Structure 1
Amino acid sequence: MYRIYLDWNVISQLKSDNKSEIIQELADLLEKNKDNILVPYSTAHILDLLKGSENPNNLHYINRDLDYIDILSNQNCIQNDISTKTTNAYIGSARDLFDQLKENYHPDCLHPDFIEKSFEGTELPNLGKTFTDLWKITPSGIDFTNIDSNEESKRFFDKFYPRTRANNSLYSLMVDSSEFFKAINSNHEIYKSLTDTCRNHLKIDPKVVSNYKDPITGIGEILKTLGNDIDFDKLNAVHSQDENSVLNNHLSKYMAEYTNLDMLGYHPDKLNNKNLFSNFTNDSQHSYFAGFCDFFISFEKKLIKKSNILYKKHSINTLAYTPKEFIDIYRNSFSCAQTWDDLFVEINNIISNAKWQEIMKHTFENSRIFLYHPEAKLLSFFNSLYLKLDANNRHTIYLRYVHKNFSPFVFYYELSMLIQKLTSIFGIDYYALGMFSQKDKDELANRNWQGRYWGINNYLIQLYIDEQTGHFELAFEEITEELKKEYNSKPAPPE
């Protein structure tokens, strides 16, 4: 399916009874193509709603928003897992995730004393104190000699990290960091002061940086003036030991890159009493989670600019647009083959017209392999096509899903809709397994998925996971007598 990630400002207008013309067009597009489009939500959407949840008068509206998210997303969610340093697909109610995050959220959650108290009433009530005692004797790792060589850096640490300067321990660093993040989230002037200091020190003009065709390279040239071989990647503020699962994960690093782009003047946000730093960090999370999708739609042009630069930096194909830009380009782009004839017309058009390359290294003897790059997804799922020709000119067609964004995963919902489409075109599968079910989920979890088989129009059709690459494939193999004997001898999958 095509994954479309919507910024909260777009969702809030979609659910409105008084939609603008462009939002109505977007709503119509999503409804018309609901079998081919997935609109997941993420923890960033829930964090948007948490901001007003302290006021009981807002809960009625928040609950209504959560219900709308469930309808829009079919409860498909993208979440970051700190323990595994991965971002994964989940199925679950937005309301449940909201309750979970609200229960676990606390403004002092980074403070070591809060962490110590969190163990009270558990089976290990003294473990928290063990941690804090250890943190008090562990050095922070900050070299103040180097920091003090720069007057602006010295002033920053004097003001915001006084405990760490007085007692250079990990405990002091955690306390100062907790207080700093609370302060910057509530006072936009702190972030403004930091960005002004940074830009003045580097003599950066945001108007110039914002017009760079390649801002990552342009910023790198500016950073060279600092010496020490500093570039955009080394500027990443969350370099840490591998075991630090909070700092050393993809989400944290991406958020740091987004912040660095902004601080160094690339289409910088203007924070104020309404647009606080917490809004800015939420934008960076939306940008990150959208990177697991095909499209990101937002009204925030500065968010779009920074997102597209980072998507390009990470070599992914996600594209960010305003609603109007998206509608203008993709208004008629999400149709899907409904019949065998339609599907093979699309396949033949790709083989005749799409960009291709011959794969020279492969394991098939006496065969040639050609890779084609379709402009649109076949069956709203497969984005690569391989054609294998053997010595007798007998051909096999492989449709493959290769993730071209951050996402290594496929939603169960996407597989369910794919099998539904295939069943509609090919009929019931050879072993009568039918629609996607809990049995499929269990087999996928145990890495022994049976997939689906069909025999139609002189082709054996197989939907499976390629063992070498882990990619989902749909293979069309011309049926021969030898192939019939091979597959007729195979036992049916267990019930």
Structure 2
Amino acid sequence: MKLYIDWNVLNGIKNGRFQEFEEIIRQSEKFVIVYSTSHISDIASSYSDEKENPNIQSDLEFLAEITDCMCVFNNGKDIVLQQNEPFHIFENEIESKNLTEDFSFNNIFSVLDDNGENAEMIAPLKTMMQSFPLDNIFKEAFENPQSAEIMDSMFPGLKDNPTFEGLFNAMGKMLENLNEKEGYKDLKTPFKHLNVNQGKLTNPNNNPFDVLNDAYKKLGIKESPLQKDYYEKGKNAPIWFDDITSAYISLDMHGFHSDEVKVTETKKKTFKNTTQDSFHTAFASTCDFYITNDKKNYQKAKAIFKDKNIFTHVLKADEFINFYKENLEKVDFIASWNKFEQIAKSGKFYDISDKNNPDDLNQVHFSTFNYFGYFNRIYLFNSDEDKNSISFMFGKELPTNCLGVFYKEIKEMVKIIVDYLGTDSNDKGYFDESEIDENNHWNGRIWDFEKIQYRLVQDKRYFQFYYELNINNQNN
């Protein structure tokens, strides 16, 4: 099971809180804890060139230790999961931070010609771009009463200097206002004119996206801004990643459990916090669980995952403890098999068979309990060749944006089965990574008995456990 845990909870563990939660997640045979570049941004937010940063080194060391350096990140095209040292990512974060702190037309060209060797080539380009006019779309947006207020908030000064120089400088001011000051408040202001009933918007029985779309329709706006793409999705990240982050920021801007915007000498809550939380939420969709104690992040993540049918559990730390005790703690073979027999006798299966073939049996049971510490689906079907042959297949609904399954995740599950059934028909016992071939394929296991057969197989990135029996043999 992959866990994505927000930094507030991880930092709490580091400082001696969440002890019961820590004891559970520290079971490396059961859980893989993943961090992302957004965790590094959270840690780097307290960094300063002007003072010592004693906590950052220990924060990075703790993050590396508890996650075994397993990092999910955006490489500019795809979201990938691999081992990566937090220290290296932190260094890149600081370099990027230094560049964006003075994002202006002159500074960009200073970076392009850092050593002064390309001055003759860069100077004419700089002169040309200084006065090069922008597309009319910007002019029209400033002249349109419906968008002028937002444009002034987003691009301060651009209206008076509609050139590439003006655009770079406006973007620099916008980034400073949003990420370092309280400019996000101004960006939210126009959306207050919707006059959305907050009780209706935050009612857990309502879909907040539907509530907001209805509010726009009442204003005569047929195409809600929630449904528009303001940038080319999929250009610098997978479309699914952009969809989640865009939905997250839209909910926050429209008042759904909005983040506080406040900058003081001791605390800085700006747009950057919201964007990083949107990234956390998107990264978390690659894992089985997203654990966050941030109440507003929790609500937005749950709403988005529900709306987009994303199969990742969003839980607070104490909720995860309860989930674990009910569905993951007692998963030995006997406990799992007893639970399975209860379900089999109850008949709580959904029919998914082909209606044109009445002899076919094809049903599924959905579960929150994880059989053998892994499976959460049970399929019941018969053979096309022999209708008296019945199979139960234990399967797993993977996270919606799963980036792959680690053999480490099934190692404990194999142990549970071997401890009860013994070595398989080929006299193999506990799982060993040497069983994986050069194509990253695993042949699985078979246990043959007189009237029944158990099979543990790999099908691409899925793992399944079959319990097969013949009805006629069972009646003999």
1:382 aligns with 2:375: yes
User: What's the secondary structure of 1:385's corresponding residue?
Assistant: strand
Matched residues in 2 for 1:97 and 1:205: separation?
A: 42
> Conserved in 1, the CA contact under 8 Å of 2:208 and 2:256?
yes
Amino acid at match of 2:352: I
Matched residues in 1 for 2:107 and 2:456: separation?
A: 51
Runs of 4+ in 1 over 6 A off after TM superposition: 109-122, 132-138, 362-366
Matched residues in 1 for 2:442 and 2:325: separation?
A: 37
Question: Number of residues paired by the alignment?
Answer: 455
Segments of structure 2 that go 5 or more residues without pairing to the other structure are 471-476
Amino acid at match of 2:297: L
Amino acid at match of 2:194: L
Matched residues in 2 for 1:96 and 1:225: separation?
A: 51
User: What's the secondary structure of 2:371's corresponding residue?
Assistant: coil
1:313 aligns with 2:307: yes
1:397 aligns with 2:387: no
Residue in 2 that maps onto 1:195: 188
Residue in 1 that maps onto 2:5: 6
1:217 pairs with 210, 214, 221, which one?
A: 210
Residue in 1 that maps onto 2:350: 357
Amino acid at match of 1:78: V
Percentage of identical aligned residues: 19
- Deviation at 1:320? 2.9
> Conserved in 1, the CA contact under 8 Å of 2:354 and 2:360?
no
Matched residues in 1 for 2:180 and 2:43: separation?
A: 17
- Deviation at 1:451? 3.0
User: What's the secondary structure of 2:223's corresponding residue?
Assistant: coil
Residue in 2 that maps onto 1:239: 231
The C-alpha deviation readout for 1:359-397, integer Å capped at 9, x for no partner, is 324999975222221231222222222222244522223
Segments of structure 1 that go 5 or more residues without pairing to the other structure are 480-495
User: What's the secondary structure of 2:77's corresponding residue?
Assistant: coil
Residue in 2 that maps onto 1:16: 15
1:443 aligns with 2:439: yes
> Conserved in 2, the CA contact under 8 Å of 1:219 and 1:232?
no
Matched residues in 2 for 1:250 and 1:197: separation?
A: 27
- Deviation at 1:420? 4.7
Matched residues in 1 for 2:178 and 2:48: separation?
A: 19
Residue in 2 that maps onto 1:482: none
- Deviation at 1:162? 3.3
Residue in 1 that maps onto 2:466: 475
Q: TM-score, normalised by structure 1?
A: 0.77
> Conserved in 2, the CA contact under 8 Å of 1:39 and 1:72?
yes
User: What's the secondary structure of 1:443's corresponding residue?
Assistant: coil
Shift in alpha-carbon separation, 1:394–1:303, aligned structure 2, 3 A: same
> Conserved in 2, the CA contact under 8 Å of 1:462 and 1:476?
yes
Matched residues in 2 for 1:252 and 1:195: separation?
A: 20
- Deviation at 1:186? 0.7
Matches within 5 A, 1:178-193: 178-188=172-182, 190-193=183-186
Shift in alpha-carbon separation, 1:118–1:331, aligned structure 2, 3 A: farther
The C-alpha deviation readout for 1:208-259, integer Å capped at 9, x for no partner, is 53347322111111122454522263245x43276x326x743333222212
Shift in alpha-carbon separation, 1:378–1:161, aligned structure 2, 3 A: same
The C-alpha deviation readout for 1:277-315, integer Å capped at 9, x for no partner, is 222222222222223333333332122111111111111
Matched residues in 2 for 1:205 and 1:138: separation?
A: 42
Moved more, 64-73 or 353-362: 353-362
> Conserved in 1, the CA contact under 8 Å of 2:139 and 2:159?
no
Matches within 5 A, 1:212-291: 213-231=206-224, 233-236=226-229, 238-240=230-232, 244-245=235-236, 249-273=239-263, 274=267, 275-291=269-285
Amino acid at match of 2:390: H
Matches within 5 A, 1:69-108: 69-84=63-78, 87-108=79-100
> Conserved in 2, the CA contact under 8 Å of 1:50 and 1:102?
yes
Shift in alpha-carbon separation, 1:350–1:115, aligned structure 2, 3 A: farther
Matched residues in 1 for 2:77 and 2:106: separation?
A: 22
> Conserved in 2, the CA contact under 8 Å of 1:41 and 1:73?
yes
> Conserved in 2, the CA contact under 8 Å of 1:7 and 1:297?
yes
1:35 aligns with 2:29: yes
User: What's the secondary structure of 1:10's corresponding residue?
Assistant: helix
Shift in alpha-carbon separation, 1:140–1:5, aligned structure 2, 3 A: farther
User: What's the secondary structure of 2:259's corresponding residue?
Assistant: coil
Q: TM-score, normalised by structure 2?
A: 0.80
Moved more, 135-144 or 315-324: 135-144
